[in-house]
Structure 1
């Protein structure tokens, strides 16, 4: 018998060039966000009215989310772009190149932020399922995605499912009904990067990956700046605290600056560390020829510590202070200037009407001819 040769079937495949959308990256993820909704005053009144009716209790809180289209067909452009009247997702801002870690290895990717938004409705219904109140709100969440997203490709996003649950009690047995309702809303996201290319391929079904690239943030290890106040000028301000004091008893003739003609005498004991124990007594003796008695005595009742000012000028140690006191039976304000110099002390005193602010008496600059004043500037 002769042998028969079994010939191989001829390969009927031939090279073809096709144009297809190539998938550069495909990521699925579940994004959750919390939201707090507030009922209006009128709605709360309707709810409390229903709770007061035993036939309508208990009330239930029900959440309704938009229904998403089926996963297939993939070619539905409206679904691929995530456009829908009750929900959508879209890229926000520009992409940026980043470094990341995937399966323990460094990778280079593009980081984008994607916004997810949906209309969610909360119903309060009674025992029979009849509506008592309704709240409708937009819920949004934004999530970063690290993708293979080179220039020349397009990002396609769609929401494959939206779910929500009430974080508080969903069954209300009696009042008062809470004025706020807390929700947790979840978006199931399908994010794809595509570009139209020409290919000759052998293929099999592929699966998406998780949003699992750990982005390396170059600023993560950059510490926040320490609080550093501007450098102080310690030798200029604030001045170091010095205890200043003035003591003595002295007198002299009022000067031509004063409208009075007489002698002025003071006795002072001023301590900046203890203004409450400081004292000042002033006596005026009129020497005029008009035979009017203008003699009076003034005593300080209170010194203003913030008014104390000391300095040196033209060889004099000078202390200024103000406060309130009484001249005979009238309460007045005062301003006192003391000056200690080599062999010549001086002082001046002004008495001021507290209501009008006008000077009612002034000695002018008195040159001491009896006694002395000692000033310690610390």
Structure 2
């Protein structure tokens, strides 16, 4: 691309721009306070609404109420001012009287449903007296910046209800004045030049599909296992030789396994919680005080291998020994479902961790609470 011969343009003021006194017209703040009012206001309940409340309570229903500010109804009025005799004396100090107003919407409910005729608006006002520096020629600028309201139902007085209202207000004494300040006129900054090197935008490529994991491949079979109760399992801890600590142990086992739910691999989960029953030394365990409790959660599954009534799935998860830290582990789960002889149903889970290995082998004969199901998945026709 041919570079154009463009001369830079520099702005130049025709008159000198030196720092000097300038006169500006601004709003000067002479005094500024923030006021907070909280008061309980008794307001009249409309006749129709009061009758509906009485009927609801007579029938044993629950009556509740809410109140909130009506947007756009805030206002403030200056009432008057009198000289303030304060020590030390402040010239221009005045006791200023102000009135603040807001409208509050009140609504009653019966068992959470609005009561008919019980949505009404009432005015709420606060009067304030505050000492301000309020010299002649200034004016009051007041504003309500927050309103909070609560209905005090336990203080209903006949057909009157009590509203607990909090109002936050900002009051300023102001005047338009002309001030002399040291300043100078400001001008625009220089333009930042844009580089003229040529650049061609490439054609955006189409995104590539992820065939290795999406779209997902349907499972050939699906299975589940559920057990909760006392069980004997094998837990070995450590990797040292002679044989590591642990062995056969009995305790409370809760196992839930769901593989390829609705024939989708992502609908799989395995959760195991084992609470060791401490007591006599289990067979093969040299130390009776070892707590062999643990939890295991599977987080990644391979496609299962399927045979007649049998499902085997492998994957990885996290095992957490009692008093230890979570560690990654491999697992293999085998489910056997026998419709002709349910006592032959079996669930075997082998977990291989870094410092702990577990073998859980359950069968319906010795573990009658075990439930196992395996079934084939329907496939699309070829």
Q: What's the TM-score once normalised by structure 1's chain length? A: 0.39
**Relative contact order higher in (CA < 8 Å, ≥ 6 apart):** 1
Q: What's the TM-score once normalised by structure 2's chain length? A: 0.39
